[in-house]
Amino acid sequence: MELQRIAFNPNNLEKNIAIRESKSENQVGKVVKILLEDGILTQKQIEYAQRVLSKLETPRALISVLKELRFITDDHVKNALANNAFAIELGDLLVELGHITEKDLKIAHEIQTNDNSKRNLEKILVDQHIIDEHVLMGVLALRLGIPYVEAGFSRIDPILFSKAPIKWLEKHQLIPIGEEEHGIRIALVDPDNKQSLQAAKEIFGNNILLAITSKNAFEKVLQRAKRDEVKTAATPADKSVTVKLVEEIILAAIDREASDIHIEPLQDRLRVRFRQDGVLMLFKELSTDVSSVLTNRIKVMCNVDITEKRRHQGGRILFEYHGGELDLRVSFYVTVHGEKIVIRLLNRKGVLLKIEDIGMAPQMLERFKEDALYRSSGVILITGPTGSGKTTTVYSCIHTINTPQTSIITAEEPVEYVIDGISQCSINPKINLTFEETLRHIVRQDPDIIVIGEIRDNFSAEVAVQAALTGHKVLTTFHTEDSIGGLIRLLKMKIEGFLISSTVVSVLAQRLVRRVCPECSQNYKPSTAELQRIGYTPSDVIGTLFCKGDGCSYCQHTGYKGRVGVFELLVLNECVRNAIIEQKTSQEIRRISVESTGLVTLMEDGIFKAANGVTTIDEVFRCLPRLQKPRTLSELRRLLGE
């Protein structure tokens, strides 16, 4: 609905419009009340805006609706706050202006209550990415009635700046910007700090014009000043401190069950993020001064050249800690601001998921076992992008079929789980132990089951097919978007269609989506717009259990905890085999698979999991490809067996 097209006609309003009393965006906030008292707004205008707001699908702030209806302007809001800003709590003001929601404010207050570092509300809102720092600074400036200055070294008067020592500026968290007509403009991180204001007057005189700046901008200016002062980077951190810092980062990643650590040099800081449940989360930000020593420490740990800073490098670390040992794969990537480091954490504890626990629906799991896993020979392809859980699925399959009477041999890069009773080979190109060399010898080891870490070229694809032709069972992974894509890519690798159709028994495509947090899960009714994106109507989802997480300390206020697999299983039958031999298009093969094999697509499996409260619609659209309109939930229930 476009608000600009709604004409305001008081004569059409009913005399008594019911205003919802629920805790929602329709409540009249203090700013609106001030505008009403000042005569800027009328009661009828407010009621009309509330009526419009109640019909909107997407939640909005009442003030934003009043603005779009042109009942008020930004200047009206600014003037209303000029003499009344401190009568409104900052959090309430941010909610009323539409920058955050009531839920966001509740989360921030909960974090503040449990936070040992005693951060203020503003810092929590920025650290949790609830609000952008620039937006927050703008609201604080509006509340104080002073300008917001994004301090930069290029715009600062060098003569004024040199009047005070850098340590003094750092102590009082202020920056002299320049001289104006009515005084000297001073930007403070905290304009409410009376001691800083008095200190500024002692150095720069009584004619002070206040402004507010962000902590980030302030620190950037101070860092530049320090570098200019000593003509070099600040003194690097002590070696023992650096060792402890690297250990702290790795242990924190283990504690948070992260899969990757990203250490990224930016222009003004070093950012450390963890990939948790498939999503990057900020851990901490460090000074650029520690970047070099931190990088060198990690290079020493993985035995790579610390003097090489112009080329990309890679290495490995065996990290021992109180809980065991962890295999870390490290990648150094040269950027314009320095070397970015990504560390992948590989589990060496041998904790394997059972095939029943990876998230496959009952009927799909039963079919995968009987028609693929328990077959005596043939190629089983596990497909999906990087980080989709393919390796975990392969190992759960090995765990299921591993018996004392079976010989299983693997070629992996690297070995991620060490399993007793299985001959595992970790590829090492540095000593010429390549995939090609290993695969040449693997069939001479009299295996029953061959596990190839990944089909990466024509040679590995041919080895897999030839091994299956000679009566071996082959499990391998492939980087493709879906199950049909795995077959098409084999054809593109110049593997003959008749060989594919006679050796490949199954293709299992998968993704990982985040689970709804069990501690803060709440029932949730999808909006009409969300259902339209799926291709459903409200009547199609009657009796379902859609859920969303409110956010709590257990899930770090994300609403999600852990991940679950979403699967698309293709078991090849005669119709599909003939389509491959005839080299039909992926669309035709998909249609034949859906009609003749009961194929359930990734999107359909994801929607079904969302309808059962396992994940959310947002996650389904974030992670899964949509290649065709999903079938009804009742049909999916019949096919998946839940």
CA distances from 107 to 138, 223, 273 (A): 22, 33, 21
On the question of pLDDT at 503 being above 80, the answer is yes
**How far is it, in rounded angstroms, from Cα 186 to Cα 209?**
6
Contact residues for 249 (Cβ-Cβ < 8 A; gap 6+): 261, 263, 272, 283
Helix (H, G, I), strand (E, B) or coil at 262: strand
Report if residue 106 sits inside a domain: no
* Beta-strand runs (E) in 131-207: 174-180, 183-188
170 and 315 belong to one structural domain: no
590 and 611 belong to one structural domain: yes
Report if residue 514 sits inside a domain: yes
Q: How far apart are the first and last CA of the chain?
A: 39
458 and 311 belong to one structural domain: no
For residues 102-138, b (16+ Cβ closer than 10 Å) or e, as one string?
eebbebbeebbeeeeeeeebbbbbbbbebbebeebbb
Q: What is the CATH number of the domain that holds 320?
A: 3.30.450.90
**How far is it, in rounded angstroms, from Cα 488 to Cα 511?**
19
Nearest CA to 513 among 631, 603, 397, 381?
603
624 and 520 belong to one structural domain: yes
Q: 236-287: per-residue pLDDT in tens?
A: 445 578 888 999 999 999 988 899 999 999 988 899 999 998 889 888 888 8
Report if residue 145 sits inside a domain: no
**How far is it, in rounded angstroms, from Cα 224 to Cα 158?**
13
Which of 386-395, 433-442, 612-621, 630-639 shows the lowest mean pLDDT across its residues? 433-442
Helix (H, G, I), strand (E, B) or coil at 556: coil
438 and 528 belong to one structural domain: yes
On the question of pLDDT at 15 being above 90, the answer is no
Which of 180-184, 321-325, 602-606 shows the lowest mean pLDDT across its residues? 321-325
Q: 351-374: per-residue pLDDT in tens?
A: 678 899 899 999 999 999 999 999
CB-CB contact of 627 with 482 (8 Å): yes
- Write the DSSP assignment of 306-361 as a string of letters: TT--SS-EEEEEEEEETTEEEEEEEEEEEETTEEEEEEEEEE-S-----GGGS---
On the question of pLDDT at 570 being above 90, the answer is yes
Q: What is the CATH number of the domain that holds 183?
A: 3.30.300.160
Structure tokens of 212?
A: 């507010």
Report if residue 373 sits inside a domain: yes
- If one counts every other C-beta atom within 10 angstroms of the C-beta of residue 607, the result is 27
**How far is it, in rounded angstroms, from Cα 317 to Cα 305?**
14
Helix (H, G, I), strand (E, B) or coil at 605: helix
CB-CB contact of 212 with 191 (8 Å): yes
Once rounded to an integer, what is the mean pLDDT over residues 592-613? 92
Pairing of strands 208-212, 260-265: unpaired
Residue 335 burial by Cβ neighbours in a 10 Å radius (0-12, 13-18, 19+): exposed
519 and 541 belong to one structural domain: yes
- Write the DSSP assignment of 536-552 as a string of letters: --GGGGTT---EEE---
Once rounded to an integer, what is the mean pLDDT over residues 333-348? 88
Q: At what angle do helices 458-469 and 435-442 cross, to 10 degrees?
A: 10
pLDDT at 373: 93
Confidence of residue 17 (pLDDT cuts 50, 70, 90): very low
Categorise residue 45: left if φ over 0, alpha if ψ from -120 to 50, beta otherwise.
alpha
pTM exceeding the 0.85 threshold for the entire prediction: no
484 and 577 belong to one structural domain: yes
pLDDT at 8: 42
| Residue after which a domain boundary falls, among 67, 88, 109 | 88
Nearest CA to 393 among 348, 325, 464, 451?
451
Q: Which amino acid is at 23?
A: K
pLDDT at 229: 59
On the question of pLDDT at 475 being above 90, the answer is yes
Report if residue 147 sits inside a domain: no
Place of tokens 């954490």: 345
**How far is it, in rounded angstroms, from Cα 256 to Cα 52?**
44
341 and 421 belong to one structural domain: no
Place of tokens 């392969």: 394
513 and 586 belong to one structural domain: yes
Once rounded to an integer, what is the mean pLDDT over residues 80-94? 78
Report if residue 306 sits inside a domain: yes
pLDDT at 439: 81
310 and 213 belong to one structural domain: no
Structure tokens of 210?
A: 């206040």
521 and 620 belong to one structural domain: yes
CA distances from 547 to 21, 316, 613, 623 (A): 25, 41, 5, 17
Report if residue 253 sits inside a domain: yes
Q: 436-463: per-residue pLDDT in tens?
A: 788 888 888 888 999 988 888 888 888 8
| Residue after which a domain boundary falls, among 33, 61, 88 | 88
- Write the DSSP assignment of 480-502 as a string of letters: -SSHHHHHHHHHHTT--HHHHHH
Confidence of residue 228 (pLDDT cuts 50, 70, 90): low
Structure tokens of 189?
A: 């991180």
**How far is it, in rounded angstroms, from Cα 36 to Cα 50?**
14
| Residue after which a domain boundary falls, among 285, 319, 347 | 347
The residue range of the domain holding 225 is 153-230
**How far is it, in rounded angstroms, from Cα 287 to Cα 265?**
10
Contact residues for 347 (Cβ-Cβ < 8 A; gap 6+): 326, 327, 416, 417
Structure tokens of 288?
A: 């650029």
On the question of pLDDT at 11 being above 60, the answer is no
Once rounded to an integer, what is the mean pLDDT over residues 137-154? 77
**How many residues appear in the chain?**
642
The number of domains in the chain is 4
Once rounded to an integer, what is the mean pLDDT over residues 3-31? 46
pLDDT at 507: 95
Report if residue 123 sits inside a domain: no
On the question of pLDDT at 609 being above 70, the answer is yes
H/E/C letters for each residue in 386-449? Answer: CCCCHHHHHHHHHHHHCCCCCCEEEEECCCCCCCCCCEEEECEHHHCECHHHHHHHHHHHCCCE
343 and 482 belong to one structural domain: no
Per the prediction, the chain carries an average pLDDT of: 84
